[in-house]
Amino acid sequence: MRVGVLTGGRDCPGLNAVVRAVVRKGVQHYGDEFVGFVDGWRGPLDGETVPLDIPAVRGTLPRGGTILGTSRTHPLDHPEGVRRIRENLAKHEVEALITIGGRDTLGTAARLADEYGLPIVGVPKTIDNDLSGTDCTIGYDTAVGVATGAIDRLHTTAESHKRVLVVEVMGGDTGWIALRSGLAGGANVILIPEQPFDVEQVCAWVTSRFRASYAPIVVVADGAYPKDGSMRLGPGSGVRLSGVGEWLAREIEHRSGKEARTTVLGHLQRGGSPSPFDRWLATRFGLHAIDAVHEQDFGTMVALRGTDVVRVPIAEATARVKRVDPKLYEEVGVFFG
């Protein structure tokens, strides 16, 4: 069989490990040939490809980023998008397409499979872990590891200077990275988009922490925001960086009189080598995705349920954002302050 592979949307650690597993099992077990489509959906839209075979994936298991490139191109925004994709798949004699992506890329995959009958199998990736239908996405564990390591380091400098250290982590619309790294790193306050925060309450927690002679660490997800709508960012706001972390540190200083600093971890969480867990998960997802192709189980996405890899409809996985359950957040609240 000739199988196309693409990686779309924002990158994350573990993408190459999926591609490698797909190609290794496809070639060695099924006798497949592969076509690498470059830069996400732009590849099949413009017909741009790279050779994808065993030598191309050699040494890529620990490598971050994606050897196929990525983009946030939306083929359904192009009037001729579906026709162009069909033509390019036919031109390269591609009989199935493995699409590795997050909500956006797989949302498109679901429509192309369900509405237009394209032979697609999905693989879930994103450091945000916000895709439904799977316990975990690839990239999430690595990002949590980077953030936890940073929080560990920030504890010591916060203690030396008796300062508040605010750590802004990624997560988009969800607080999964903040929640898990904050817990693992022993943060004193964790703020997530699912639970708009009260700045006065945050200051009360910070002050109580100082009373107990500890310098507090506040972990804030980049999508978190205050309840009262008081956050003003951008020109004239006095905020040096562009996010909630910097805004919050200024508010804490102003309201509590304690010196505060911000560390924005940013793309450090998305770059570099995948963790052992992500290599394991990405490899298993890749092995199961090529099986799904050979069973012609199109329109499905491989997913982790407990320790099993299962398949779910891509449309179901992308229909709603997987948010942090209020009960999970309540559970960690015992450590605040």
Question: Using an 8 Å Cβ cutoff, are 130 and 321 in contact?
Answer: yes
- Ligand-binding annotation for 89, yes or no, is no
- Which three-class secondary structure state does DSSP give residue 220? strand
Question: Using an 8 Å Cβ cutoff, are 8 and 105 in contact?
Answer: yes
Tokens of 318: 């992308």
Give catalytic status of residue 278 as yes or no.
Answer: no
In the bound state, the residue with its beta carbon closest to ligand F6P is 170
Tokens of 2: 């000739």
Kindly state the smallest distance separating residue 294's Cβ from ligand F6P, in Å.
31
- Ligand-binding annotation for 207, yes or no, is no
Kindly state the smallest distance separating residue 170's Cβ from ligand F6P, in Å.
3
Specify burial of residue 232 (Cβ count, 10 A radius: 0-12, 13-18, 19+).
exposed
Task: Give DSSP secondary structure letters for 246-310.
Answer: HHHHHHHHHHH---EEEEE-GGGGTSSPPPHHHHHHHHHHHHHHHHHHHTT-TTEEEEEETTEEE
Residue among 172 and 216 whose Cβ is closer to ligand F6P: 172
d(CA 144, CA 249): 22
Kindly state the smallest distance separating residue 241's Cβ from ligand F6P, in Å.
13
Residue among 10 and 63 whose Cβ is closer to ligand F6P: 10
Query: Would you tell me which residues interact with ligand F6P (CB under 6 A)?
Result: 10, 126-128, 170-172, 222, 270
Q: Which amino acid is at 283?
A: T
99: closest CA among 302, 291, 284? 302
Kindly state the smallest distance separating residue 193's Cβ from ligand F6P, in Å.
10
Residues, the chain: 337
- Ligand-binding annotation for 86, yes or no, is no
- Ligand-binding annotation for 60, yes or no, is no
Residue among 4 and 182 whose Cβ is closer to ligand F6P: 182
Kindly state the smallest distance separating residue 221's Cβ from ligand F6P, in Å.
8
d(CA 302, CA 325): 23
User: 265: which residues sit within 8 A by CB, 6+ positions away?
Assistant: 146, 147, 150, 167, 168, 169, 170
Kindly state the smallest distance separating residue 298's Cβ from ligand F6P, in Å.
26
- Ligand-binding annotation for 296, yes or no, is no
d(CA 101, CA 289): 13
Residue among 141 and 222 whose Cβ is closer to ligand F6P: 222
Give the residue carrying structure tokens 């489509």: 37
Annotated active-site residue in 11, 32, 39, 128:
128
- Ligand-binding annotation for 269, yes or no, is yes
Tokens of 223: 């999508």
- Ligand-binding annotation for 127, yes or no, is yes
Q: Binding site residues for substrate, as ranges?
A: 126-128, 163, 261, 267-270
Q: Which residues are catalytic?
A: 128
Q: Binding site residues, as ranges?
A: 126-128, 163, 261, 267-270
